[in-house]
């Protein structure tokens, strides 16, 4: 079986249409500025939004494909690295356990999608999550997948759990709460292994944390995640702390989110001004 | 009756004005709206799925944001089905206000979320009964989000979904009653 599979080779049937983060960012239309400035004080994904049902459905589909990619990422880590020499057996065991969790999450997300009224492949699949899982260094992969990707999952699941709670949707609230608990464990595994493997290699640890910063900014999706009310979801600080993120790390992720939001807003203004001329 | 679609060309999306006009004309005829001018003004700057509707005695203005006509599988491409549904939604809402017993309904921006949801259910039910492909479960979910998650709420949804003649007075009372029973 092939090692280090590139993102272009992910197996999908005809129901799926994949796009890249570059495709997404090339869209010059505005879902941020016009809405938050003109007709709505917040872009947070809560039931109070007029488009709440549609937005929650689209996010649930994003979670569904994200879980598939997380499953593929954890599974690849078990296979891509030589046991003992490149990755300890116990690390691979943790990744196998994570792959099992992600497979269960895929099924749960699929059932929630049915419940909310969407179909497999109804929305484009952004492959950016798997891209973070393509590093040749297992430590960078832990930083990208277990800390950045799974950290994002903590933020998203917290938003969806609260959405279900406020709307009175018992299934959504219950399922998201259980998946959230798994994600906290996955992040903690990443944090623990990152510390352990780089214990005597500060340079490698620094490189891994830098890589995590890059991935965290990518996963802010142009400001979809930040402390600003203009973002769809917030940094879930409490659950992140439980997963092993320090306050400084959470502040750093929040700063990256604000940077991404401001850059996206500037980019959109530029594109819309160019179109108006 | 004249039907106009704007803009003629697009900067951010790959939409086709003539194609949109053909779909809109067909829908207007199907809904008996051949005695009023219709302006379809697409807001391509926004990717939201919102549809704004304004009606006077002589002009119906339907202003969908581009997300309402988009193929969600292929961002920025136009979807025939979503264009059809959006035209039907806008025109039915306009027709309701004009001559369907909704003259006393508040402006769209003044509708509460449950009121907007029950009216949308009434509209989407009629679209589904026109044999246009609609994901009913999505509208069940929207109705539940606004009225509560219970069998009693689902029964109200079914009643509204299958109704072909309702008035604003009936729908708003039904919505208020459902919300108060659930609370």
Residue-range definition of the domain harbouring residue A235: 14-21+34-263
Structure tokens at B113: 């979320």
Residue A44 placed within a domain: yes
**pLDDT at residue A197, as a whole number:** 94
| Residue numbers of A between 73 and 92 with CB closer than 8 Å to B | none
Q: Which residues of B touch A52 (CB under 8 A)?
A: 145
Q: Could you give the C-alpha distances from A98 to A67, A179, A184, A190, A261, in angstroms and in order?
A: 11, 12, 11, 11, 31
CB–CB contact B11 A275 (8 Å):
yes
| pLDDT for res A36 | 46
Task: Find, among A177, A231, A174, A50, the residue nearest to B145 by Cα.
Answer: A50
- pLDDT band for position A41 (cuts 50, 70, 90): low
- For residue A212, tell me if it sits in a domain: yes
Residue B141 in contact with partner chain A when CB distance is under 8 A: yes
Q: Does B145 touch chain A (CB under 8 A)?
A: yes
In a domain, A274, yes or no: no
Q: pLDDT tens digits, residue range A213-227? A: 888 888 877 788 889
pLDDT grade, residue A39 (50/70/90)? low
How is residue B5 annotated by DSSP? Answer: E
- Chain B residues with CB inside 8 Å of A116's CB? 137-138, 141
Backbone angles phi, psi at B70, to 5 degrees: -85, 155
Over residues A58-74, the mean pLDDT reads: 95
CB-based contact A30 B45, cutoff 8 Å: yes
The tens digit of pLDDT for each residue in B56-96 reads 999 999 999 999 999 999 999 999 999 999 999 999 999 99
Residue A51 is part of a domain; what is its CATH number?
A: 1.20.1260.10
Please report, rounded to a whole number, the percentage of residues in chain A having pLDDT higher than 90.
67
Q: What is the pLDDT of residue A32?
A: 60
pLDDT at A29 over 90: no
Q: Is it the case that residue B126 has pLDDT exceeding 70?
A: yes
- Comparing A77 with A218, the larger pLDDT belongs to A77
Q: Is B142 on the interface with A (CB under 8 A)?
A: yes
User: pLDDT, tens digit, for every residue of B6-29?
Assistant: 999 999 999 999 999 999 999 999
What is the pLDDT, as a whole number, of residue B38? 98
In a domain, A78, yes or no: yes
A156 domain-assigned: yes
Interface touch B141/A119, C-beta < 8 Å: no
Q: What percent of chain B has pLDDT over 70?
A: 99
| Range A171-198 average pLDDT | 94
Residue A240 lies in a domain: yes
Which residues does chain A have within 8 Å of residue B136's beta carbon, measured at their own beta carbons? 117
pLDDT for A97 beyond 60? yes
Report yes or no: B137 at the A interface, CB cutoff 8 Å: yes
CB contact under 8 A, A168 and B148: yes
Is there a contact between B72 and A119 if contact means CB atoms under 8 Å apart?
no
The answer to whether the CB atoms of B45 and A272 lie below 8 A apart is yes
For residue A232, tell me if it sits in a domain: yes
Q: Chain-centre distance of CA B16, in angstroms? A: 21
Task: Give the distance from residue A31's alpha carbon to the nearest chain B alpha carbon, in angstroms.
Answer: 6
- Does any CB of chain A come closer than 8 Å to the CB of residue B48? yes
pLDDT of res. A28: 86
CA distance A222 to A231: 9
Q: Does A170 reach chain B within 8 Å, measured CB to CB?
A: yes
pLDDT at A224: 86
Size of the A and B interface in Cβ pairs below 8 Å: 93
Q: Which residues of A230-269 are buried (b: 16+ CB within 10 A; e: fewer)?
A: bbbbbbbbebbebbbbeeebbebbbebbbebbeebbeebe
**What percent of chain A is modeled with pLDDT above 70?**
96
Site from B121, B138, B143, B151 to mutate, A interface, most A CB atoms within 10 angstroms: B138
User: Each residue of B155-164: b (16+ CB within 10 Å) or e?
Assistant: ebbeebbebe
- Mean pLDDT, residues A199-226 taken together: 89
Q: Residue B181 pLDDT more than 90? A: no
Number of domains in chain A: 1
Asked whether residue A235 is domain-assigned, the answer is yes
Which of the two residues, A81 and A224, has the higher pLDDT score? Answer: A81
Nearest to B51 by CA among B136, B120, B98: B120
Nearest Cβ partner of A53 from B12, B75, B141?
B141
Kindly report the average pLDDT of chain B as a whole number.
96
Query: What is the SS3 assignment for B52?
Result: strand
Q: Any idea of the CA torsion for A67, A68, A71, A75, to the nearest 10 degrees? A: -160
When CB atoms are compared, the residue of A19, A115, A118 closest to B75 is A19
Sequence-distant (≥ 6) Cβ neighbours of residue B17 within 8 angstroms: B5, B6, B7, B8, B9
* Average pLDDT for chain A: 91
Taking the Cβ of residue B140 and every Cβ of chain A, the question of whether any pair is shorter than 8 Å is answered with yes
CB contact under 8 A, B46 and A34: yes
Work out the average pLDDT over B103-123: 96
More confident residue, A235 or B182: A235
Whether residues A23 and B75 touch (CB distance < 8 A) is answered with yes
Instruction: Give per-residue pLDDT as tens, B142-166.
Output: 999 999 999 999 999 999 999 999 9
């Amino acid at each position: 079986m092939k090692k280090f599979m590139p993102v272009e080779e992910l197996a999908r049937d005809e129901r799926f249409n994949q796009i890249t983060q570059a495709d997404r960012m090339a869209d010059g239309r505005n879902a941020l500025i016009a809405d938050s400035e003109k007709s709505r004080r917040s872009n947070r994904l809560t039931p109070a939004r007029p488009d709440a049902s549609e937005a929650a459905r689209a996010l649930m589909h994003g979670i569904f494909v994200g879980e598939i990619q997380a499953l593929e990422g954890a599974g690849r880590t078990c296979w891509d690295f030589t046991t003992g020499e490149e990755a300890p057996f116990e690390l691979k065991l943790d990744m196998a356990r994570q792959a099992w969790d992600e497979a269960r999450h895929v099924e749960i997300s699929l059932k929630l999608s049915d419940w909310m009224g969407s179909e497999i492949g109804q929305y484009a699949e952004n492959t950016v999550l798997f891209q973070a899982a393509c590093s040749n260094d297992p430590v960078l992969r832990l930083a990208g997948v277990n800390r950045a990707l799974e950290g994002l999952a903590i933020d998203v699941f917290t938003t969806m759990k609260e959405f279900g709670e406020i709307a009175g949707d018992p299934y959504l609230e219950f399922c998201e709460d259980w998946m959230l608990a798994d994600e906290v464990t996955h992040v903690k595994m990443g944090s623990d292994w990152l510390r352990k493997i780089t214990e005597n290699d500060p340079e490698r640890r620094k490189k891994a944390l830098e890589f995590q910063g890059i991935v965290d900014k990518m996963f802010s999706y142009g400001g979809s995640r930040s402390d600003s009310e203009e973002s769809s979801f917030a940094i879930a600080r409490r659950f992140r702390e439980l997963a092993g993120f320090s306050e400084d790390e959470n502040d750093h992720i929040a700063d990256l989110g604000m940077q991404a939001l401001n850059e996206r807003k500037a980019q959109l203004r530029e594109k819309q001004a160019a179109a108006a001329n | 009756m004249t039907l106009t679609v704007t803009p003629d060309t697009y900067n951010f999306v790959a939409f086709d004005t003539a194609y949109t006009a053909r779909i809109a004309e067909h829908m207007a005829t199907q809904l008996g709206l051949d005695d009023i001018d219709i302006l379809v003004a697409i807001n391509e700057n926004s990717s939201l799925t919102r549809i704004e509707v304004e009606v006077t005695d002589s002009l119906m203005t339907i202003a969908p944001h581009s997300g309402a006509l988009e193929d969600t599988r292929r961002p920025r491409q136009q979807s025939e089905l979503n264009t059809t549904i959006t035209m039907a939604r806008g025109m039915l809402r306009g027709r309701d206000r004009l001559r369907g017993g909704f003259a006393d309904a508040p402006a769209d921006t003044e509708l509460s979320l449950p009121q907007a949801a029950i009216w949308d259910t009434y509209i989407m039910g009629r679209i589904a009964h026109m044999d246009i492909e609609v994901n009913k479960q999505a509208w069940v979910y929207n109705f539940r989000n606004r009225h509560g998650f219970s069998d009693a709420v689902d029964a109200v949804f079914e009643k509204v979904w299958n109704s072909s003649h309702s008035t604003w007075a009936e729908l708003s009372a039904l919505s208020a009653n459902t919300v108060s029973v659930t609370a």
